[in-house]
Amino acid sequence: MPRTARSARTARATAVAAALALGLGALAVPAGAAAAAPRPLASCVTLAPGPDAASLCAAVSGLPDDGATAAQVRVGGEGAWLGTAGVRDLGSGAPAVRHARFRAGSTSKVVTASMVLQLAAEGRIGLDRPVQRYLPGLFPAEFEPMTVRQLLNHTSGLRPGASFGDTTEEMWEHRFDTLTPQEVVAGSIAAGPGTAPGEVQRYSNIHYVVLGLMIEEVTGDTFAHQAEVRIFRPLGMKDSYFPVDGDPRVRGPHNRGYERIDGRLTDVTEWNMTDRFAAGDLISSTADLETLVVSLFRGEVVPQPYLDQMFQVPRVDDEDGRDAAIGLGLERFEINGQEVWGKTGSRPGYHTVVAATRDLSRTVAYSVNSTDARGDGLAIARRFAFPAFNR
């Protein structure tokens, strides 16, 4: 590359970083720099015809912008499409890493639910038996018996657990501190019983934090190692792991995550997520998440009778008075007239989706480095995931 082009590219990268760091809605660049070094192009590759490639590529084109700094999208089923766009980090302006690892947030719950159902198939737990049977002494007598199934489908009635705050700003101050799963559950217990078990579906991480502790108690092993030997290693998910000992890093190649904190874009990549545990501490890749959903829906992870139960939604209302939509680790969506099952996830700087039609005619997995990952996840999904189901 000629020196002048390299200089212009460097100038533009610096300008982009400064503009986004200030939280500006537009990407102001020096005069002439944009012409000499255009915005990094999206990489859109159709591996097999079928998906709406034009709409998918349009979704990722133009990154970084005010809403996201990078994105990876993988579409499969009948046809295959891959898209990568944006920058690896705002400081260098280098193109986004393809096949990068990321914080997968609550898509962790698909892994956790699969492990619980494996244990049920092995006869080591009963889905309709009280979790108190497997975690004796954890819950005081005033807590009614709640079944393992009710934890899986978010109808246990437990109140949310302890946390470092409700806002990203509050949590940011504690990003390198450790809040153990036991402390999270203790906070829920201290708040006292909520609704009666089985009465209402109220989505909360607390259910899956308890399930993670149950897995450890029943197996006599760490949750992270059980995920490795039960899910990741058998499926060849080489990019996936649950951090241990409060490790705040994303190990391996990754695109850095940014979130607005006090009005300024801040690098939030390093963060100890121990408190999310079995509910949301997964590190993964789009290829691994695609492998997970395809293998799961084919019956290769959970035996078929238990897999069928993952798609069973309790006949109760959710906390907003609507029909419940969450089964055992999976949520039901309707997109462009199609029934789709999957899970969303968000951690500061990262928004994730893994979803598929039940017959696997269409699958999608994405990671978007959203600058408001904990905000309107539906808006992000409409932009990056919905086009996968256009046809």
Tokens representing 15 are 């300008």
User: Rounded to whole angstroms, how far apart are CA atoms 295 and 178?
Assistant: 34
Phi–psi pair at 269, nearest 5 degrees: -60, -45
Q: How many CB atoms lie within 10 A of CB 52?
A: 17
The answer to whether residues 339 and 332 touch, using CB atoms and an 8 Å cutoff, is yes
> Is the Cβ–Cβ distance between 372 and 130 less than 8 Å?
no
Is residue 240 flagged as an active site residue?
no
Which DSSP category does 254 fall into? B
Look-up: residue for tokens 């949750």?
223
Q: What one-character DSSP code corresponds to residue 26?
A: S
DSSP for residue 75 = E
The radius of gyration of the chain's CA atoms, rounded to the nearest angstrom, is 21
- Find, among 349, 317, 281, the residue nearest to 154 by Cα: 317
Answer for the pair 106, 347: CB distance below 8 angstroms, yes or no. Answer: no
Count CB-CB contacts under 10 A for residue 31.
6
Q: CB neighbours (10 Å) of residue 204?
A: 17
From the list 106, 156, 367, 370, the catalytic residue is 106
In whole angstroms, what is the distance from residue 102 CA to residue 96 CA? 12
What three-state secondary structure class fits 291? helix
Which residue bears the tokens 């082009």?
A: 5
How many whole angstroms separate alpha carbon 374 and alpha carbon 388? 22
- From 201, 161, 183, 236, select the one nearest 314 (Cα to Cα): 201
Task: Please give the positions annotated as active site.
Answer: 106
